[in-house]
Structure 1
Amino acid sequence: MAGFNFNNFLQGAMGNYSEKTIDELNQEYGMYLFEDETITMGFQLIRDALLITSLRIIFIDKQGATGKKTSFKTIFLDSVINVEMETAGVGIDDSEITITFIENAYQKSNNELLREATFEFPKRTDLTEIYRVLGNISVNNRERINR
């Protein structure tokens, strides 16, 4: 387990994710991955985590006082259709990534259910790579869905 980082703790207390190494994430969450799934990047929020894998975005919510009860929520990458990025300004502003995704399993229906998820990151976090990765995925998904 990595040592305590006070800055990461403060960012987490403020609702901001801090980037973790793939090795750290694999050690803690590797057992929950599907067959042939790999972690490409991930972030920690005190006890909770946000992982981006080769198949999905995983929200890990450790609940209760002990954190033993854990909720895993998934957004499959093939359902992501839009991504927005807001960089931090002057002062105490944080950066944000907002993704829009199709909640329906059948994506070519006439009744799409769209949802959004927004994540805040510390001002110092460079969101360019996550924005580009998710942006490329959304472009490919739009092309595939609209064929």
Structure 2
Amino acid sequence: MSIFDALMGNSSKVDLVKLAEEFSPLLVAGEELKGAYRLVRDMFVFTNKRCILVDRQGVTGRKTEYLSIPYQDIARYSVESAGSFDMDAELKIWLRGEAQPIVKSFPKGSEYLSVHRMLSEGVLK
């Protein structure tokens, strides 16, 4: 990701080799990284078993939440593209048993469709 993309909040693909060390303690036997996308400090990480939403918190980003979503727990999901007046695209994920979706915003020009495709590959297999 270029510095310009980071400042603008654009999402970009993350190198899985660099990510493997951070995520190896979180993965179970037989689980492997399939793809990852960074959105400023947050990340979407896709494995063959689940989607992990990484939320860096605080000023330094040292506190981190890893929200694991098994693909079978996703009831439905949608993507809404950015428009002329609405500059952000949105990805919504509804989990079984939850009324409200998880909503993530992507600035115009980011790789939100790639994130949607990775999510589809996990859910629709």
Bucket of the pairwise TM-score, normalised by the shorter protein = 0.7 to 0.9
CA contact (8 A) 1:81 1:139 kept: no
1:56–1:7 Cα change, 3 Å: same
**Which residues in structure 2 correspond to 1:77-96 (within 5 Å)?**
77-90=71-84, 93-96=87-90
Give the TM-score of the pair, scaled to structure 2. Answer: 0.75
Aligned to 1:125: 110
CA contact (8 A) 1:83 1:138 kept: no
Map Cα deviations across residues 72-108 of structure 1 (whole Å, 9 max, x no partner).
1111111111111111223661222111111xxxxxx
Gaps of at least 5 residues in structure 2 are: none
Structure 2 counterpart of 1:7, one-letter code: F
1:115–1:24 Cα change, 3 Å: farther
Structure 2 counterpart of 1:10, one-letter code: L
Task: Identify the structure with the greater strand proportion.
Answer: 2
Map Cα deviations across residues 118-143 of structure 1 (whole Å, 9 max, x no partner).
11223223444433443465566xxx
CA distance in 1, matches of 2:22, 2:122: 26
CA distance in 2, matches of 1:6, 1:129: 20
Structure 2 counterpart of 1:64, one-letter code: G
Task: Identify the structure with the greater helix proportion.
Answer: 1
1:11–1:52 Cα change, 3 Å: farther
CA contact (8 A) 2:42 2:54 kept: yes
Per the TM alignment, residue 57 of structure 1 is displaced from its structure 2 partner at its CA by 1.5
Candidates 45, 56, 63, aligned match of 2:57 = 63
User: Alpha carbon RMSD of aligned pairs, Å?
Assistant: 2.8
Per the TM alignment, residue 46 of structure 1 is displaced from its structure 2 partner at its CA by 3.0
1:9 counterpart = 2:6 = yes
Count of aligned positions:
125
1:139–1:62 Cα change, 3 Å: closer
1:39–1:11 Cα change, 3 Å: farther
Structure 2 counterpart of 1:94, one-letter code: D
